[in-house]
């Protein structure tokens, strides 16, 4: 029973996490994608939107105790984790390429009083944003790998307990 709860909780967390990141990115509130132009921002949001339903397999597999759903979720979880980590790495690599776009975006959002030092203010904001994104990517990767290991342990334990589908 405990393993089923863990599988369902991890599935629910992944679904909610991907949906929230997709919505924040789509509405351009996500600080990690501040430097992206509109098309890349929409692509980043759509990738997380596509990954969002993957967790439902884990929720349904944990609730209904179906071997196929649990096996499928174990595989899908690791594929989606690799994709999410890859998106974070791509995001970090694109910081330098879209630095000028982010500077223009930042300087246009400043008030008239702040525009005298806009270059310094925006460089400081973008540097801090890059550091925060880098730290968040490490945390995200670590949490995904840790949850994946817990999921493998609980999933295989639950699969041994299920005799027939």
- Is the predicted pLDDT of residue 107 greater than 80, yes or no? no
**18-70 pLDDT per residue, tens:** 999 999 999 988 888 878 888 888 998 999 999 999 988 888 888 888 888 88
**Residue 16's pLDDT is what?**
95
Rounded mean pLDDT of 11-15?
93
- Is the predicted pLDDT of residue 97 greater than 70, yes or no? yes
Using CA atoms, how far apart are residues 81 and 76, in angstroms rounded to an integer? 8
Q: Number of structural domains, the chain?
A: 1
**Residue 149's pLDDT is what?**
95
Q: Among candidates 119, 145, 132, 162, which has minimal Cα distance to 34? A: 132
Range of the domain at 153: 2-161
Rounded mean pLDDT of 75-94?
92
pTM: 0.85
């Amino acid at each position: 029973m405990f393993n089923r709860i863990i599988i369902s909780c991890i599935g629910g967390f992944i679904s909610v996490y991907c949906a929230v990141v997709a919505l924040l990115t789509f509405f351009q509130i996500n600080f990690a994608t501040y430097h992206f132009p509109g098309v890349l921002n929409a692509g980043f949001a759509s990738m997380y939107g596509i990954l969002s339903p993957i967790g439902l397999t884990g929720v349904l597999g944990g609730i209904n105790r179906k071997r196929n759903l649990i096996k499928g979720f174990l595989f899908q979880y690791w594929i989606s984790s690799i994709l999410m980590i890859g998106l974070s790495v791509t995001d970090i690599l694109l910081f330098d390429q879209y630095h000028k776009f982010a500077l223009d975006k930042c300087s246009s959002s400043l008030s008239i009083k702040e525009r005298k030092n806009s270059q310094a203010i925006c460089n400081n904001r973008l540097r801090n944003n890059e550091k925060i994104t880098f730290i968040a990517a490490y945390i995200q990767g670590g949490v995904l790998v840790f949850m994946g290991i817990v999921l493998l342990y609980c999933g295989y334990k639950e699969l041994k307990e299920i005799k027939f589908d």
